[in-house]
Amino acid sequence: MVLQHPDAVRAARAIPVDQIDFTDDRVWRRELDRWELFRTLREERPVGFQRETKLDRFPDGPGYWGLVRYDDVRAVSRDHETFCNAQGYLIPDLPGEIGEFFGSMLQMDSPRHTRMRLIVNRSFTPRHVARIENYVDEKASSIVDRVLTLGEFDFVDEIAAALPLEIICEMMGIPLSAWPAVQRCTNVVMGATDSEYASSFDDLLNAALELSAIAEEIANERLANPLDDLTSALMHAEVDGHRLTAAEYASFFILLVVAGNETTRNAATHAFWQLALDPSQRALWSSDIDRYTAGAVEEIVRGSSPVQHFRRTATRDTEISGQPIKKGDKVVLWFGAANRDPAVFADPDRFDIERTPNDHLGFGAGGPHFCLGANLARRELRAIYTQILTRLGGLEVTGEPDYLHSAFVDGIKHLPCRVR
């Protein structure tokens, strides 16, 4: 069950397709129900042109074609020759250096992307993977040990954010003293449009520069004195005579800590909210954790779709579902909308841990840019929910979620709860 404010639903349905405008801040403040807007677009204009939001310090963008149907999102994601990443993975056009600084591999095409991904893949040796898997279980258990003594607390701060942050920092060899700074900076980078975290573009840039400084210091140290951690493996891995520079590592580090921390934490939080809204799903999952966990994790990712969209740019004249697309046009893939396409998912707004098949696009839709951290995210969600369901049966939500104000990330900043 998904709770929706009835006034928001009526308002969304009352908006004609020609007036749907994602620059309208009411959509992202949840004064309008975007799922209803996406439904209207799927039915009446599945490949529709949208204006871009005006950003300070940047010229007005030309607009983009938005895709809301599953098949269109999947097809464009897999056609990396016709729809490229190197011209930008966000809707606005950022200068190349800034785009790569924030996006690393997300703003690369082959052969650079292939080489970078091979370096990263070779760093995840079987020994490192086994160590990470064991550490995920240990960390999930220690987090529950801690919250058992708290009584009332914020689910996001104490559970959902703590797990991926501590795992990523540990596996990368980030010193404990830097963990609070990493958490603070990732909040700013992913919540740059939310006044709780940032008030200007300078806040975003300063947070990224602080993360970069942390990363470059560790990269240079591990290059000179390697240890048995992932940063050392990354700095010493080589493909076709190429190694990562400290700057390339810093860019990848920003991508990893931001994407790995924020997306997993938001998926975990959305899941707990959905279980609170529909206790029957929690009871079913708890009745046989081994049986239902794998399917529940996939439904968590489908239903939350933490990253709402990515962009591609057409490299030639083409068409999508009959709509002509010109070379240079921006194309935006709305993953959340695709993951609620009724042509693929029956009763798509319902959270259903028994949903099968569940070929969602929450980690992307295949192709060269499929999420590098998908398996780690699945592992983290399995670990923390196994702990919650077996040891925190009395954990309950005590208030409404406080949502992130963002068109890019479907996030929950705070979710009050208590252990009975």
List phi, psi (to 5°) of 307.
-90, 115
Alpha carbons within 13 angstroms on the beta-carbon side of residue 28 total 18
Q: What is the CATH number of domain 46-419?
A: 1.10.630.10
pLDDT in tens, the chain (420 residues): 444 444 454 455 678 999 999 999 999 999 999 999 999 999 999 999 999 998 777 778 999 999 999 999 999 999 999 999 989 989 998 766 676 677 678 888 888 888 888 888 777 777 777 788 888 999 999 999 999 999 899 999 999 999 999 999 988 899 999 999 999 999 998 888 999 999 888 898 899 899 999 999 999 999 999 998 889 988 998 888 888 888 888 888 888 888 778 789 999 999 999 999 999 999 999 999 999 999 999 999 999 999 999 999 999 999 999 999 999 999 999 999 999 999 999 999 999 999 999 999 999 887 788 888 888 899 999 999 999 999 999 999 999 999 999 999 999 999 999 998
DSSP letters, 157-213, are IIIITHHHHHHHHHHHT--GGGHHHHHHHHHHHHTTTSTTT-SSHHHHHHHHHHHHH
What pLDDT, on the 0 to 100 scale, is given for residue 97? 65
Contacts of 42 (CB under 8 A, 6+ apart): 68, 69, 337, 341
Give the pair of three-digit tokens for residue 394: 């009395």
Residue 112 CA to residue 353 CA, distance in Å, equals 39
Across the strands, what pairs with 395?
Answer: 419
Q: Assess contact for 11 and 32: CB atoms under 8 A.
A: yes
Alpha carbons within 13 angstroms on the beta-carbon side of residue 276 total 21
Scored b (16 or more CB within 10 A) or e, 320-340 reads beeeebeeebbbbbbbbbbbb
What pLDDT, on the 0 to 100 scale, is given for residue 380? 95
List phi, psi (to 5°) of 244.
-70, 135
CA dihedral 109, 110, 113, 116 (to 10 degrees): -160
Which pTM was predicted? 0.93
What pLDDT, on the 0 to 100 scale, is given for residue 11? 56
Place of tokens 């951290």: 373
Q: At what angle do helices 34-44 and 6-13 cross, to 10 degrees?
A: 30
**How many helices and strands in the chain, by DSSP H and E?**
17, 12
CA dihedral 90, 95, 96, 97 (to 10 degrees): -110
**Residue spans in the chain of domains classed CATH 1.10.630.10:** 46-419
Place of tokens 């007005």: 60
Contacts of 180 (CB under 8 A, 6+ apart): none
List phi, psi (to 5°) of 123.
-80, -25
Q: If DSSP codes are grouped into helix, strand and coil, which group holds residue 103? A: helix
What pLDDT, on the 0 to 100 scale, is given for residue 45? 97
Q: Assess contact for 2 and 25: CB atoms under 8 A.
A: no
Q: At what angle do helices 279-287 and 246-277 cross, to 10 degrees?
A: 110
What pLDDT, on the 0 to 100 scale, is given for residue 309? 95
Q: Assess contact for 235 and 226: CB atoms under 8 A.
A: yes
